[in-house]
Amino acid sequence: MHLHREDTVLVLSGRDKGKKGRVIRLFPGREVALVEKVNMVKRHTRPNQQVPQGGIVEKEAPIHFSNLQVVCSKCGKATRVAKKTLADGRRARACKKCGEILDKEK
Ligand SMILES: [Zn+2]
């Protein structure tokens, strides 16, 4: 899987094509992700604990992985992801455009 939580991604197709956002949730089994403020849909909901007043709530709808591309934190470009093996043997994702390692925190 080439997407991680908290990644900044570019939307490649659909209504929000060209928008960038942060991945807030991944559903690996369905190969979709929720991206902050992207692909917003209006939901009519009954009052519940999260939304005590009920009514129309805007929320993100999932987008398929194939419509998302990771934005490199170094060069700022949307890129495909290369897999690299680090000196200590860990596998990491890297930007295909500039070679920057994108998973330094792990
Ligand atoms: Zn890059």
For residue 105, pLDDT over 70 is answered with no
Select from 55, 13, 73 the least CA-distant residue to 38.
13
pLDDT in tens, 23-46: 999 999 999 999 999 999 998 988
SS3 sequence of 29-81: CCCEEEECCCCEEEEEECCCCCCCCCEEEEEECCEEHHHEEEECCCCCCEECE
Is pLDDT of 103 > 90? Answer: no
Q: How far is the CA of 82 from the centre of ligand 1 (A)?
A: 11
Share of the chain above pLDDT 90, in %: 83
pLDDT at residue 16 tops 90: yes
The pLDDT tens digits of the residues spanning 42-81 come to 989 889 888 888 899 899 999 999 999 999 999 999 999 9
Tell how far the Cα of 18 is from the centroid of ligand 1, in angstroms: 18
What's the pLDDT score for residue 53? 87
Which residues are within 5 Å of ligand 1 (an ion), measured at CB?
A: 72, 74-75, 95, 97-98, 100
pTM of the model: 0.85
| Cα of 31 from ligand 1 centre, angstroms | 24
- Banded pLDDT at 1 (limits 50, 70, 90): low
